[in-house]
Structure 1
């Protein structure tokens, strides 16, 4: 029987509509999305009438309604259907995530249907970053893409992210891909004035790949990192072969967990033993790691080479292996959230990529530590060995 059950209904597209005139500020971007800080100009503090499609005798006009969208409760889900859709008047604690024109990525509507029916029910409240689907005016995407072009010309946009723009731009001169929706996210931005800072990392594979050889010495994450390093140096590119081992993070051994946390904190924060201790204790006591580990094991018992790459269970396992930890550290507490649940479809060559990687990790000896070549980790005392 499937271990993943869809508990939500089909997403009603009558969700809140963002106004055209939101002020946009570029925050960051990943391979598939761009994150923006948004604000409503003073002259647009009255919500646009398009947010509510119909009026009734009991429904006041939009100018009389003042409802803030709270996406920090119940895993960030809210009811936003039809005439009852909330009107968003406060964007101070929200970020906007816009999707890029990537053939391998799902539309935001399908992503939210999957997120709300499959992913959200897997976690208790407060574990995930709050998020909600909103309708996206094309004019806003046009301005956002114009900003990306400007950032490229100014040399601000990362070079490896250039030449790929946002979906939903109707102009024929832009990359064409329909997208009518976006995500509002709970803002985890730290208040640096009071000493807060944000850590971001991917826990990746918290249990060994079922496809790994019986005599494996390395976890899937470390084996793949070393192989990528090997390919990079052959091309004359910079790469790191040292990194976070997920097995250390979930080992329940404080010493090993601290080693993982030092990788996450990085220098110079990693030199602060009290800080290392605080973050280690918080992560070891947080529910996210244990839940992710259990789900990864139960949803993909066969492994990449034997699994049905079209099954909901396998694709969910791959999604959970690529989600992001957001850890906000303040002088008094450590707050962890999971986010960035990009739906894995296995399409556009992704499934073949997973299979090819697995075959190479096995066939070239990266799992067993028998890979060919003279590498830094071959030096005495530096060999990469992962322990359960």
Structure 2
């Protein structure tokens, strides 16, 4: 897929006067299917707020420069301050080969995990190494927590969404009690998914696109396992995106509760101070330190805190509006529907092009917003990162601020049959009756269970 050229003024230039050349400055942090993340452990404070993202060697994958240009050119104007801060930086020719040697040394018999203990992807395949011909890396804003628990004073968070409408407060904590310094105590990461219903859903739909896919997958898994196990453990509650975007306080709270209780969605920083092996073996219990007090208070109030954030922050309405704007015609065209009929398989992209020409439709790579399913699918697959900062309020308990960023806005295209896959999912949802809610009482229109 080709895209509209990015206006040069929208893309920040590379970090000036810096070239990354020392592999000892970076430790493995986590990885996905396409990238590996590293955390800075060197002495230069410039890099402390960032993680280094390096791309793997994958056939047909876009270059780091192309990814950077697309991120800022396409999503910068759309996301504004919610776009996760991302800088492009030059790499020395020997940095990636050295990091690849370290990747090879990771024990293949032990499944690697990221900083939060989550299994990294792909866990069972031979690890893809970094592209040694790539001259650029991305510095991405580090939204993990626990980085400023024991620094005095800590670096203040940027562009905070404050829970107490105290946005103009002076952040200089010099000379104040440790408990009154902001601590990055928690991080929440999740995918908001489809905050608006699919344009391809039938008029009598009961389930949103996300819940319909979950139901379809659940039945598929039951069919696979039915001959082996008669009983299954109940699945963890999953949130409905339409609850989150509904504007209804009760529905937002229900979605928030489900998000907080999702596996690996919430990370609370370890509040215990660094140990000193030379202090002796005195095992007598110590009173809770300020970090432990704040962590306990935050754990007990996290659902309330996040519910208030989702009710008042513009970020969910912004994503909802963008999802309504891009790909509003859905993944099907009239040519697609004519070719598809009642068949079990979808036509190829070449068939779609020919059918579009026959019906007078224009099949273009550069499309209007309503036909831009590439941006639409990126917006439905992005992640929200929430960093929760807390501190003790004098005589009034705890106060909190939330820094919110949108990430995982990777460039999507038609390579690998992805467009055909998206259409095939919609076809199966429609033809299988999953939008109308087979055997479920859930109604995503009203939020009723």
TM range (shorter): 0.7 to 0.9
Q: Does 1:383 align with 2:385?
A: no
Match of 2:404 in 1: 336
Local SS of the residue matching 1:191: coil
Instruction: Point out which structure has higher relative CO (alpha carbons under 8 A, 6+ apart).
Output: 2
RMSD: 3.2
Deviation at 1:106, TM superposition (A): 2.4
> Which stretch of the first structure deviates more once superposed, 229-238 or 312-321?
229-238
Match of 1:215 in 2: 204
Select the residue among 51, 57, 60 that pairs with 1:101: 57
Q: Does 1:179 align with 2:238?
A: no
Q: Does the aligned pair in 2 maintain the 1:104–1:348 contact within 8 Å?
A: no
Call closer, same or farther: CA 1:272–1:149 in 2, change over 3 Å. Answer: same
Match of 2:396 in 1: none
Match of 2:106 in 1: 151
Match of 1:81 in 2: none
Q: Does 1:327 align with 2:327?
A: no
Distance (whole Å) between structure 1 residues aligned to residue 53 and residue 70 of structure 2: 17
Match of 2:244 in 1: 249
> Which stretch of the first structure deviates more once superposed, 188-197 or 339-348?
188-197
Match of 2:144 in 1: 189
Local SS of the residue matching 1:141: helix
Q: Does the aligned pair in 2 maintain the 1:7–1:118 contact within 8 Å?
A: no
Structure 2 unaligned segments of length 5 or more: list them.
Answer: 113-118, 150-182, 268-297, 337-362, 391-399
Q: Does 1:203 align with 2:218?
A: no
Deviation at 1:258, TM superposition (A): 0.9
Q: Does the aligned pair in 1 maintain the 2:51–2:141 contact within 8 Å?
A: yes
Deviation at 1:167, TM superposition (A): 3.6
Q: What is the number of equivalent residue pairs in this alignment?
A: 320
Structure 1 unaligned segments of length 5 or more: list them.
Answer: 46-88, 170-177, 371-377
- Determine which structure has more spread, i.e. the larger CA radius of gyration: 2
Call closer, same or farther: CA 1:232–1:33 in 2, change over 3 Å. Answer: farther
Distance (whole Å) between structure 1 residues aligned to residue 224 and residue 364 of structure 2: 31
Distance (whole Å) between structure 1 residues aligned to residue 20 and residue 224 of structure 2: 47
Q: Does 1:114 align with 2:141?
A: no
Q: Does the aligned pair in 2 maintain the 1:319–1:344 contact within 8 Å?
A: yes
Deviation at 1:228, TM superposition (A): 2.4
Please, what TM-score do these two structures have when normalized by structure 2? 0.64
Q: Does the aligned pair in 2 maintain the 1:18–1:135 contact within 8 Å?
A: yes
1:138-180 Cα shifts (integer Å, max 9, x gaps):
42222333333333435141475142424423xxxxxxxx533
1:331-366 Cα shifts (integer Å, max 9, x gaps):
321221111111111222111111111111111111
Distance (whole Å) between structure 2 residues aligned to residue 282 and residue 111 of structure 1: 30
Local SS of the residue matching 1:300: coil
Call closer, same or farther: CA 1:287–1:156 in 2, change over 3 Å. Answer: same
Match of 2:295 in 1: none
Distance (whole Å) between structure 1 residues aligned to residue 57 and residue 10 of structure 2: 24
Deviation at 1:273, TM superposition (A): 6.4
